[in-house]
Amino acid sequence: MRFMVFVKSPKPLAALHRDPLLRAGVLLDAGDLVPDAYGVSGYWLIDVRDHEEAVERVRRIPLPACVVEIRQVPVV
């Protein structure tokens, strides 16, 4: 299953903290988005077994003062 992980933080973190996902072989894409009024956002696109694995992998990454949202991406 594929999941898009959105990270909102005061500084660009998504691209910097992608290494654990890359080493695990689940990272498909990562990048930073254009800053908005709430700060900087970034994303990871990951391929894991289920939502629980997605949550567990993201929890292992130090993301201080961040808002994280995980959404399933339908595969067509």
Domain residue ranges of the chain, discontinuous segments joined by + = 2-73
Q: For the chain, what is the radius of gyration of the CA atoms?
A: 12
pLDDT tens, position by position, 6-17: 988 877 665 667
In the predicted model, what is the mean pLDDT of the chain? 87
**Residue range 2-73 in CATH 3.40.50.10140:** no
pLDDT tier, 64 (very low <50, low <70, confident <90, very high otherwise): confident
Predicted confidence (pLDDT) at residue 53 exceeds the cutoff of 80? yes
pTM, 2 dp = 0.84
Q: What pLDDT score does 50 carry?
A: 97
CA dist 26 and 67 (Å) reads 21
pLDDT of residue 5: 94
